Amino acid sequence: MQTAMLALWSLLLLWGLATPCQGLLETVSTLARIDKDELGKAIQNSLVGEPILQNVLGSVTAVNRGLLGSGGLLGGGGLLGHGGVFGIVEELSGLKIEELTLPKVSLKLLPGFGVQLSLHTKVGMHCSGPLGGLLQLAAEVNVTSRVALAVSSRGTPILILKRCSTLLGHISLFSGLLPTPLFGVVEQMLFKVLPGLLCPVVDSVLGVVNELLGAVLGLVSLGALGSVEFSLATLPLISNQYIELDINPIVKSVAGDIIDFPKSRAPAKVPPKKDHTSQVMVPLYLFNTMFGLLQTNGALDMDITPELVPSDVPLTTTDLAALLPEALGKLPLHQQLLLFLRVREAPTVTLHNKKALVSLPANIHVLFYVPKGTPESLFELNSVMTVRAQLAPSATKLHISLSLERLSVKVASSFTHAFDGSRLEEWLSHVVRAVYAPKLNVALDVGIPLPKVLNINFSNSVLEIIENAVVLTVAS
**Is 59's pLDDT higher than 90?**
no
The pLDDT score that the predictor gives to residue 311 is 85
Distance CA 29, CA 234 (A): 10
More confident residue, 77 or 475: 475
**Is 189's pLDDT higher than 60?**
yes
- The pTM assigned to this predicted structure is 0.81
Among 30-34, 84-88, 448-452, which is the least confidently predicted range?
84-88
- State which CATH number among 2.102.10.10, 3.15.20.10, 3.40.309.10, 3.60.20.10 fits the domain covering 260-473: 3.15.20.10
Contacts 24+ apart (CB under 8 A), 325-334: 326/417, 326/419, 327/414, 327/416, 327/417, 327/418, 327/419, 328/378, 328/416, 328/419, 330/416, 331/368, 331/378, 331/416, 332/368
The pLDDT score that the predictor gives to residue 79 is 38
Among 5-14, 329-338, 376-385, which is the least confidently predicted range?
5-14
**Is 11's pLDDT higher than 50?**
no
> What does pLDDT average to over the chain?
82
Three-state secondary-structure class, residue 72: coil
**Is 149's pLDDT higher than 90?**
yes
* 274-293 pLDDT per residue, tens: 899 999 999 998 999 899 99
CATH number for the domain running over 35-58+88-218 = 3.15.10.10
The pLDDT score that the predictor gives to residue 56 is 59
**Is 89's pLDDT higher than 50?**
no
Q: Where in the chain is the domain with CATH 3.15.20.10?
A: 260-473
State residue 418 phi and psi, 5-degree precision: -65, 150
Which helix (H) or strand (E) segment is 443 a member of?
A: helix 437-443
More confident residue, 70 or 115: 115
Euclidean distance between the first and the last CA atom of the chain, given in angstroms as a whole number: 41
More confident residue, 203 or 182: 203
* 153-170 pLDDT per residue, tens: 888 899 999 999 988 888
**Is 416's pLDDT higher than 90?**
no
User: For the residues 237-247, what does the mean pLDDT come to?
Assistant: 92
The pLDDT score that the predictor gives to residue 131 is 64
Q: Where in the chain is the domain with CATH 3.15.10.10?
A: 35-58+88-218
